[in-house]
Amino acid sequence: MRIDRNGTWYYRGSPIGRIALVKLFSTVLRRDSDGIYWLPTPVENGRIEVEDAPFIGVELIVEGQGRNQIISVRTNVDDVVPLDDNHALRVAHDSASGAPRPYMYVRKGLEARLNRAVYYHLVDLGEAGDGEEATFGVWSSGTFFPLGSLAGAIPEP
């Protein structure tokens, strides 16, 4: 089995078309300390190849505003995960292009890569941080989550 970078699950080279089956598999998916993904069953553990992240963040849900807002992300398997201290956001960068690749912790070592629309929605909600470093990010559940640096983003006059 494998999960491609778009979140499509495959069995023996063919996409799994039954979303209910994918959702069921997603509830038992595990990642070990070596970064290997497994689907445990009562009989055996099946190894799964994951090209990027096992889940994709497909929708942003915002309640409230400013520092008191709560941002949640719905994944491609319909998990709704709040952005908070237990479900942090991290932004990696593509080594070739330098483009941001945002991820959110979902559970038990598993992450969701946020799709472009969700990322742009986060950017739209973003603001400058309070610290000495010029950071840009979003507030959710009382925590500031950096999206990037403002240093050099605005040329000095």
Query: Tens place of pLDDT for every residue, the chain, 157 residues?
Result: 999 999 999 999 999 999 999 999 999 999 999 999 999 988 888 999 999 999 999 999 999 988 889 999 999 999 999 999 999 999 998 888 888 899 999 999 999 999 999 999 999 998 887 766 678 899 999 999 999 877 655 444 4
Domain extent, residue 81, equals 55-141
pTM (two decimals): 0.88
d(CA 63, CA 153): 29
Looking at the 3D structure of the chain, how many domains does it have? 2
C-beta separation of 72 from 83 below 8 A: yes
Residue 14 sits in the same domain as residue 34: yes
End-to-end CA distance of the chain: 55
Residue 147 located in a structural domain = no
The continuous run of DSSP H or E covering 47 comes out as strand 45-50
122, two tokens: 């986060």
d(CA 149, CA 136): 6
Residue 43 sits in the same domain as residue 66: no
d(CA 87, CA 70): 12
b/e burial code for range 85-94 (CB count within 10 A of at least 16 → b)? eebebebeee
